[in-house]
């Protein structure tokens, strides 16, 4: 048995010296150190040895196993310290194509709208998406039982006084509370409505609202600003019209329509065969709103307007389903 131990020790030292790869090292471990390896087989042979000889042979086998384990550990450490060879680069292969992302179509539309109004002297303001009833409704001339509240389809939070804003108009109130006239700003942002999701409506969308307050501001100023925007954004060849409507926070109020840029006003699916497309709402700020923010309604007048960015993008790009903006389908986004 002693000779077998000496022979196996010499064999292990010889074979570990020839190991140069991780695969060969694993083969060495299986051969010598595994449960069915050569050293384990010698331990099994102890059963047939005389009891008086077992202590000495057991000590020799333990020394052999420890020595072989040390050889294995040393070789493993030396292989890890050797830098891995890299696969040679074939310089004749064509280069990998780089893929660049692009702005979302809503971001593109929003950026262009902001650029036009900034060029006309408007600043940009934003506010919280989680609002309270006062800023979202009451200060905008929505009495507690006003029927216009029902049309907002509001998402109320656990605190009944907290809600997801239904428009960006609350930013107007917050700005006027902090800054005296004159005020000339636009308020882009995300808003929420508890509406049934369909091809024409979604529970979240983007708005851009505007506000101008100063001495002597008239409806003619409002008309001039919005007509200038329409011509810059849609082109000077389109016709437009103002139609009276109602908003709680403006009086008088109007919706603005432009001739359908798809059919040229002849009638098509996009304009529902009437040749006109509604693009935004506007009006003169109601004096009651000024009273909430502490403005003197006898000295100052102002106008406000608002538009849905999603709707404008739908009309501009001829898209027939608003849900495409929020599904992150790369096939759709790659077109922009």
Which CATH number belongs to the domain containing residue 270 in this structure? 3.30.930.10
Would you state the structure tokens that stand for residue 189, as one six-digit string?
A: 């942002």
Query: 270 and 194, same structural domain?
Result: yes
Work out the average pLDDT over 325-334. Answer: 85
Indicate if 71 and 134 belong to the same structural domain. Answer: no
Residue 291 shares a structural domain with residue 183: yes
Query: Among 18-22, 124-128, 223-227, which stretch is predicted with the lowest mean pLDDT?
Result: 18-22
Higher-pLDDT residue of 132, 336: 132
| Residues 127, 263 share a domain | yes
Q: Are residues 56 and 145 in the same domain?
A: no
The pLDDT mean for the chain works out to: 86
Provide the pLDDT confidence category of residue 150 given band limits of 50, 70 and 90: low
The answer to whether residues 243 and 296 belong to one domain is: yes
| Domain assignment of residue 119, yes or no | yes
The helix-helix angle for 2-17 and 38-45 (nearest 10°) equals 170
* Residue 98 forms part of a structural domain: no
What local confidence, expressed as pLDDT, does residue 319 receive?
A: 81
How confident is the model over 240-252, as pLDDT tens digits?
A: 899 999 988 999 9
Residue 57's nearest CA partner among 3, 11, 1 is 1
Residue 311 lies in a domain: yes
Question: Which of 15, 48, 81 is the last residue in one of the domains?
Answer: 81
Domain end, chosen from 49, 81, 113, is at 81
Cα 42 from Cα 36, distance rounded (Å): 10
Q: Is the pLDDT higher at 244 or at 87?
A: 244
Supply the pLDDT for residue 85: 64
> Are 58 and 163 part of one and the same domain?
no
Same domain as 112, residue 33: no
Which of 31, 66, 81 is where one domain is finished?
81
Same-domain pairing of 178 and 75 = no
Query: Does any domain span residue 87?
Result: no
Same domain, 70 and 187: no
Both tokens of 30, joined, read 């299986």
pLDDT computed for residue 260 by the predictor: 76
Residue 224 has what pLDDT? Answer: 94
- Range of the structural domain that residue 232 is part of: 105-333
pLDDT tens digits for range 259-305: 876 676 787 776 777 888 888 999 999 999 999 999 999 999 999 99
User: Using 50, 70 and 90 to split pLDDT, how confident is the model at 333?
Assistant: confident
DSSP 8-state class, residue 235: -
| pLDDT reading at 183 higher than 70 | yes
Note the pLDDT of residue 33: 84
C-alpha–C-alpha distance, residues 29 and 210, integer Å: 76
Instruction: Give the separation between CA 193 and CA 38, rounded to whole angstroms.
Output: 75
Does 97 reside within a domain?
no
In a domain, residue 271? The reply is yes
Are residues 54 and 128 part of one domain?
no
Number of domains in the chain: 2
63 and 127 together in one domain: no
In a domain, 31, yes or no: yes
Q: Using CA atoms, how far apart are residues 134 and 113, in angstroms rounded to an integer?
A: 29
Residue 96: inside a domain: no
Residue 167 has pLDDT above 70, yes or no: yes
Distance from C-alpha of 12 to C-alpha of 281, rounded to nearest angstrom: 88
Of 206, 203, 207, nearest to 323 (Cα)?
Answer: 203
Of 148-152, 239-243, 323-327, where does mean pLDDT reach its minimum? 148-152
Compute the half-sphere exposure of residue 47: CA atoms within 13 Å on the CB side of its CA.
Answer: 4
145-150 long-range CB contacts below 8 Å, 24 or more apart?
Answer: 146/248, 148/248
């Amino acid at each position: 048995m002693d000779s077998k131990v000496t022979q196996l020790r010499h064999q292990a030292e010889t074979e570990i010296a020839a190991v140069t790869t991780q695969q060969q090292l694993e083969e060495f471990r299986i051969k010598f150190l595994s449960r069915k390896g050569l050293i384990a087989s010698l331990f099994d042979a102890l059963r047939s040895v005389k009891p008086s000889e077992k202590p000495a042979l057991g000590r020799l086998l333990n020394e052999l196993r420890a020595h072989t384990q040390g050889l294995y550990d040393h070789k493993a450490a030396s292989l890890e310290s050797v830098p891995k060879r890299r696969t040679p680069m074939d310089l004749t292969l064509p280069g990998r194509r780089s893929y660049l992302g692009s702005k979302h179509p809503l971001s593109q539309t929003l950026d262009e709208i902001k650029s036009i109004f900034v060029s006309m002297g408007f600043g940009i303001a934003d506010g919280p998406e989680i609002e309270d009833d006062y800023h979202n409704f009451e200060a905008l001339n929505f009495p507690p039982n006003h029927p216009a509240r029902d049309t907002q389809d509001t998402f109320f939070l656990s605190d009944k006084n907290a809600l997801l804003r239904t428009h960006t108009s609350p930013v107007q109130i917050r700005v006027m509370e902090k800054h005296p006239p004159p005020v000339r700003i636009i308020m882009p942002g995300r808003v929420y409505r508890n509406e049934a999701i369909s091809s024409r409506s979604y529970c979240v969308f983007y708005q851009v609202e505007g506000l101008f307050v100063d001495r002597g501001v008239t409806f003619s100023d409002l008309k001039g600003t919005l007509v200038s925007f329409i011509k810059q954004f849609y082109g000077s060849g389109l016709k437009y019209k103002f139609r009276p409507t109602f908003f709680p926070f403006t009086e008088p109020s109007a919706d603005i329509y432009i001739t359908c840029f798809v059919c040229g006003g002849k009638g098509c699916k996009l304009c529902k065969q009437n040749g006109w497309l509604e693009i935004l709402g506007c009006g003169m700020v109601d004096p009651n709103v000024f009273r909430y923010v502490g403005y003197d309604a006898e000295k100052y007048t102002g106008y406000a307007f608002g538009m849905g960015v999603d709707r404008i993008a739908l009309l501009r790009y001829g898209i027939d389903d608003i849900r495409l903006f929020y599904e992150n389908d790369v096939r759709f986004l790659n077109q922009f």
